Amino acid sequence: MRKLFVTLLLLSSIVCTAWAQSPSVVGAWQLNNGNETHFLLFQYGFCFHTLKDGNTFRMSQGGNYDLKDGKLNIKVLYNSIDSTKVGDDMHIGFSFANDQLVLQMEQGDVKMTKIDAGIGPLAGIWKITGRMGPDGKVADIHQTGSRQTYKLLTGTKFQWVAIDPDKKLFSGTGGGSYTFKDGKYTENIEFFSRDNSRVGASLSFDGKLENDKWHHSGLSSKGDKIYEVWSKAN
């Protein structure tokens, strides 16, 4: 019985180690091609793909995804340049090679380099659920209709999108890299669909996690005071 118990422990350890080391799409991936940079972010059933050319935003698309039978299956929730794609299903073959994600596209294999594994205290998909008003009180935000604003964070990358899938509307997006340390959340903007001149700017906020909610306060990109509460959307 003791030998059987030890054998089971060893097998469990081997399986757990193999699982921990198995490759995953979750996290941030990047492809540089001349001046063009592709960002591909996966987190909790959402994926965003964005293309920029130097400091110029070119396009972004994304949606919900799952993996099945060697395929990356995506239900498109938004597409910044072709709204007719919203609602489409994409099925992309994929594999892993070292620290690269290989996507089997019609034009040939596309190799994305891993940036991070999607691990961190803020990693996830967030939706804004509260905001402080002029009276200094935080009021709940009850979104109505089909308009949605998401913020996806991996271990080092962030991207927000404002969309309305039912109306096939794309209102804007921005993203880049971030750090979260000692109560300070700092964003370094690498693309911004509404204003390319914002690329290169850094914004710092006070941040804390409290009861699974992310409290976010400071000055917006326009210099306005903000205090927001974000909750996990996944």
In a domain, 4, yes or no: no
3-state secondary structure of 14: helix
In a domain, 56, yes or no: yes
Distance (Å, rounded) from C-alpha 42 to C-alpha 37?
A: 17
Domain CATH for 50: 2.40.128.360
What does the pLDDT read at residue 135? 85
> For every one of its 234 residues, what pLDDT tens digit does the chain have, with 9 covering 90 and above?
444 333 333 333 433 333 334 689 999 999 999 999 999 999 999 999 999 999 999 999 999 999 999 999 999 999 999 999 999 999 999 999 988 999 999 989 999 999 999 999 999 999 989 998 888 888 888 767 788 999 999 999 999 999 999 999 999 999 999 999 999 999 999 999 999 999 999 999 999 999 999 999 998 777 788 999 999 986
Range(s) of the domain holding residue 201: 124-232
Distance (Å, rounded) from C-alpha 215 to C-alpha 134?
A: 17
Q: How many domains does the chain have?
A: 2
Please name the residue that has the structure tokens 């089971």: 8
Listed residues 116, 137, 160: the one ending a domain: 116
Contacts for 212 with CB less than 8 Å, ≥ 6 apart: 231, 232
Distance (Å, rounded) from C-alpha 26 to C-alpha 28?
A: 7
Contacts for 137 with CB less than 8 Å, ≥ 6 apart: none
Listed residues 52, 81, 116: the one ending a domain: 116
| Same domain membership, residue 162 and residue 222 | yes
- Decide if 126 contacts 150 (C-beta within 8 A): yes
| Same domain membership, residue 103 and residue 132 | no
Residue 3: CB atoms within 10 A of its CB come to 7
